[in-house]
Amino acid sequence: MASDNRFFFGFLARAIVAVALLSGAAFSQTLRVLDARTDAPIPDALVSGSSETRVADAKGAVPLRSFSEDDTLIVSHVAYRAARLALADLSDSAVVRLAPASILLEVSLVEGERTAPVERRERFSPRDIEVAGAQSLGAALAKSGALEIRSYGGGGQLQIARARGAGGENTLVLFNEARVNDLRTGAFDFGAYDANAFERVEYSSGGDLRTARFASGGAVRLETGNPDGETNASAFARFNDDEGRAASVAYRDRFGDYATAIDAGYAYSPNRYEYKFQDERYTRHNAHYERARFLADATRRDETYAANLFVGLRSFASGLPGYVSDNNQRGSNASRSDLTTLVVSDAAWAFAEGWSASATGSWNRQAATFEDPDGTMLRGERAAETDYDEFALDARMARAYEFATLALGAEARRADLDDRGQYLNSAIGEVSMSRRSLRGYATATAERRRPFQGASQATAYAGLSYEGIEEPNYPSAEGSEFSYALGAAVVADLPFDPTLRLFHADGVRTPTFNERYYAAALGAREALLSERYRSFEAALSLGARDDVAYFSIAWFARQTDDKIVWTPTVYGLQRPRNLRRAATTGLEFDATIRPFGEFLALDASYDYLDARNRSALSADDRSFDKQIVYTPKHRARAAATLTLGDFGFAVIATYASRSYYTADNNPFSSLDPYLLVDAHARRRFTLGAFTAEATLSCANVFDESYLVVQSYPMPLRTIAATFRISYKTVRGEQ
Amino acid sequence: MTVRFSHIIAIAFSIALLVGCDENSTSGDPVDLPKAEGVYVVNEGGFGQNNSTITHVAFDGTATQNAYQTKNGATLGDTGNDLAILGYKGYVAVNGSNKIEVVDLLTFESLGSIDLGAQGSPREILIVDSTEAFVTGSFVNKVFVISPYETTITEEIEVGANPEGMAIADDKLFVANSGFGSGTTVTVIDLSDYSVLGNVEVGLNAIDVVVASDGSIYSVCVGAWDGSRDGGVYKIDPATLTAVDSLIVTGNLGEPCLVAGDDLLATNGTKVIKIDLATLTVEDDEFVAGLAVNSLYGTVYSIAYDETTGEIYMGNPKDYTQDGEVVVFAPDGTETARYAAGLNPGTIVVAR
């Protein structure tokens, strides 16, 4: 045994030395982009060479190995003046410091981009998303570690993002900074957008800290536009073996102070895929979809003023296939058709040294039509229409000091649901609903370089929000809610930059329109209460994602009082109720290793989630201390990416353990564990400013049948071929 | 050796005589078929989750869970809504699976099914005999006439919106049209030719029809789910096809209701009340407290009556998301037994 131990520790010591040497080698080939005044790293700075553009990571680091030795690099960021550097002149440990472009943008930088975030953040680039060959944004995000995507069928069916055991209504979704959670259900349909419609997708575990909108399921930020002032054009096409087709074009340009982006796309699929049910193979019918989008951004920016206007139009039509339990052999013939309009206008003005004001206005309109020739899904009706409008205006003022920024803001919001908002679940009667809210909030952020011995950086955050809500349909439910959050992050002055993060939030979620309506319509005599949660998060990370090695471990705990759960009543209609208390704890491991630089990247993540009902209604209540429904305890993801010149190959495996759909965790009513394996092969061609790329993807390689009994089966093996051609120039500024 | 044809006839006749001379039977007497026995519970499961089950409780108290799937491997289907028994055969209305599943209730072996077609959605079954039974199709607004023996559909009758419970009286079939909360009629069908005689206006959300021991016909109406309109019991005159009397009951008279003797037992919110049908008055405003059945929410999901013992069986769904129970009460309302059941025990049938 002793000799075994000696061998083990010897091996460990050699491994540590090897990793240290490798990391040292990698760092020596990295360019650091820093703020010229504070030395703070600049995340998202762009470093462009003759044929490639790379984005700086959270530490401002950009690996240089992929650039040609004779390249002249343009280093740019929207908040800074660009710099031009010859790669041949750079030393091994090169640092470039950019000067802030204006007083206004300096404020934006200090407020918006913390170098050491106090919460978990994950970013997904368009490239990460597109390479998945996925038919929707939700399908692409399902391959990420941070988010769990609950899919209600393949392709264009409903897809909802969940995180840490909280439902989709608890996950805030911001589309160009406008909240787009539909107040009917509280969720956002990630199946309604193509995977490549966005420039950037980011997940934050605490919510939107900038405007103190905290959420137990975190926030997903979707961004379009041309934030970096690029000039490029691209075209994309995807062909699936289930006859699904998608095509899109995008154009970005800049004219003086103006930057524009236009994106248009179309996708169609009969979505007639096979699945297995009780050992028989069936074909999923009436799940077809068709979606089109037109997204346009225009930005004007000068030294003290910035404004952006976004207009997005989306149409989405799909079949509603019904339930698997009747084997779909004679499922529903119903269909839906949505037309969504989203307009977001931002403006920011730096009116004095350190002072800035900004405002965001948004209008979100969703017009939906349902047709149900058999009267099945609409319970006897043949057609229904519903319109939803939401207006929001957020105004804030910020004061930036040397190490801290204070901000005060106010938000007014009004949402109106016209007529039959409660489609599908009932035809109890026509109803119009509305909600008005007024919210005030304050945030304080502070950052110090070398705050004390042994620390290279520290960040602190405090935010509070007070919201008053008026609901004409439910006067007894009107009231006000108070929320706050605190966070801190410290980066140790050691190799691999060990970073400790702490975050605490005490937040609230007001019931959605559907929850309000059904609680009252189905006999609840008392108004449904808002959910209130208290969450704690502690995390330790080493390295950065682009480094040779990155490791992160996060622990979190959340207690939710009056959690809203849906339970069946007569006719299969479900009614929301308050569950007195639910408790969730979890561990999240995340690791990336690049032992041979760009050649091989190995990513792995594992999430343990213990989410239990902690309230017993009586001694007979067998749901006490049981796992919350549809919440697997274990989820894991492993990915290997191989890059050899213009060739790339990736394999991604995702696993979810058994989950239950009855509160007493009866194994008879459970969804089996599943392991999905996807594979992608890529070939890139470059000709001057043109780059073409072809990808062949195979999803669910081993034909795993999963989520069937839940009534929304997922497709078996699917193959997709994607093609992208782009023309790109980068205009730098000295 | 040659065998003559006349010898073969003689041998065959002799064998037939020997086979027919069973000491326990007499030529011309009917042979008794085996009969189902015990308490059968159809647990709905979750809507769309394909997890309906059957629980059997023998009269000695032995409970068997998930009997159908244990025997057949496959699940019973989605949202089993009703069970009617004919001899040893059980006919289960599996609403979400659009079928009537025929089950041998002694072995729980599947004996086949009756496909009701697209959106057939069987809600309740009323068996007349082996050649005639009625099934309400809640999404298709029809009553299916089926032959239990041949497991075929023989007729389809258009009725009102979202038909639910049925009863036969005065050679007529009475069908409650709930409209899923908005219906106010009972459709009356002539059993001789299945023609619709008319619709009787009753209260809001007509969910069932019951017949008292004197042959009087009553419709049970739930009222508005949001409490804006009370439910009640409406007495129907089969000659004039009108409601001639009514009892308005505050709250929501529930779907689970039955006639025990001359009384109607029905859920009403979180209690079971007893109504004297002869006088149309509430005899006991809280015959059984809901919390005595279901200590979680006080809701009672099903009621059955044992005509032999007078015992009353009630289904306890707990919070609808976990396995429930069957609770047995003596005629005076005191609890005598409690058995485990499956998820959402929505139908209980006592067979002797």
Question: What residues in A contact B252, CB-CB < 8 Å?
Answer: 523
Q: Which of A627, A626, A541, A629 minimizes the C-alpha distance to A588? A: A541
Backbone φ and ψ of A83, nearest 5°: -130, 150
Question: What residues in B contact A327, CB-CB < 8 Å?
Answer: 97
SS3 B30: coil
CA distance A222 to A176: 6
Interface test with B, best of A324, A565, A660, A662 (most B CBs within 10 A): A662
Please tell me if residue B302 touches chain A, with a CB cutoff of 8 Å: no
Domain B5-351 bears CATH identifier 3.40.50.300:
no
Q: To which H or E segment does residue A259 belong?
A: strand A258-269
| Tens-place pLDDT, residues A112-144 | 333 578 888 887 766 666 655 677 888 888 877
Question: What residues in A contact B119, CB-CB < 8 Å?
Answer: 330, 374-376
Tokens of A135: 């038919």
Residues A151, A707: contact at Cβ < 8 Å?
Answer: yes
Q: Which of A428, A523, A663 sits opposite B227 (nearest CB)?
A: A523
Cβ <8 Å between B77 and A325: yes
Residue A93 pLDDT greater than 60, yes or no: no
Q: To which H or E segment does residue A612 belong?
A: strand A600-613
Q: Which residues pair with A712 in a beta bridge?
A: none
pLDDT of residue A25: 35
Cβ neighbors of A398 (< 8 A, separation 6 or more) are A107, A111, A355, A356, A357, A358, A405, A406, A407, A408
Backbone φ and ψ of A447, nearest 5°: -145, 135
Q: Of chain B residues 43-62, which have a CB less than 8 A from chain A? A: 45-51, 53
Residues A530, A564: contact at Cβ < 8 Å?
Answer: no
Interface test with A, best of B75, B322, B335 (most A CBs within 10 A): B322
CA distance A477 to A510: 10
pLDDT of residue B113: 95
Residue A63 pLDDT greater than 90, yes or no: no
CA distance A555 to A557: 7
CA distance B3 to B7: 7
The whole-angstrom distance between B11's CA and the closest CA on chain A is 51
| Tens-place pLDDT, residues A604-614 | 999 999 999 88
| Tens-place pLDDT, residues B34-64 | 899 999 999 999 877 888 999 999 999 999 9
Residues B333, B287: contact at Cβ < 8 Å?
Answer: yes
Domain spans, chain B: 5-351
β A172-175/A219-223 pair status: parallel
CA distance A571 to A449: 62
Question: What residues in B contact A516, CB-CB < 8 Å?
Answer: none
Tokens of A10: 């010897």
β A674-687/A670-671 pair status: unpaired
Q: Which residue of B has its CA nearest to A623?
A: B322
Q: Which residue has the tokens 């959050």?
A: A485
Backbone φ and ψ of B97, nearest 5°: -100, 5
pTM of the complete model: 0.80
Average pLDDT of the segment spanning A674-688: 91
Establish, for the pair of chains A and B, how many residue pairs have beta carbons separated by less than 8 Å. Answer: 133
Cβ neighbors of B14 (< 8 A, separation 6 or more) are none
pLDDT of residue A598: 77
CA-based torsion, B132, B133, B136, B140: positive or negative? negative
CB-side neighbour CA atoms (13 Å) of A53: 24
End-to-end CA distance of chain A: 65
Under-50 pLDDT residues of chain B? 1-6, 8-27
CA-based torsion, A151, A152, A157, A159: positive or negative? negative
Q: Of chain B residues 160-219, which have a CB less than 8 A from chain A? A: 161-162, 179-182
Percent of chain A at pLDDT above 90?
33
| Tens-place pLDDT, residues B145-191 | 999 999 999 999 999 998 999 999 999 999 999 988 889 999 999 99
pLDDT of residue A78: 59
Question: What residues in B contact A520, CB-CB < 8 Å?
Answer: 226
> Dihedral, CA atoms, B327, B329, B334, B338, nearest 10 degrees?
-30
Decide: residue B237, CB within 10 A, 0-12 exposed, 13-18 middle, 19+ buried.
middle
The whole-angstrom distance between B18's CA and the closest CA on chain A is 49
Decide: residue A197, CB within 10 A, 0-12 exposed, 13-18 middle, 19+ buried.
buried
| Tens-place pLDDT, residues A415-471 | 998 865 444 444 445 578 889 999 999 999 988 878 889 998 899 999 999 999 998
pLDDT of residue B28: 56
The mean-pLDDT minimum among A95-109, A301-315, A468-482, A605-619 falls in A95-109
Residue A650 pLDDT greater than 70, yes or no: yes
Q: Which of A145, A236, A160, A152 minimizes the C-alpha distance to A198? A: A236
SS3 A421: coil
Cβ <8 Å between A571 and B296: no
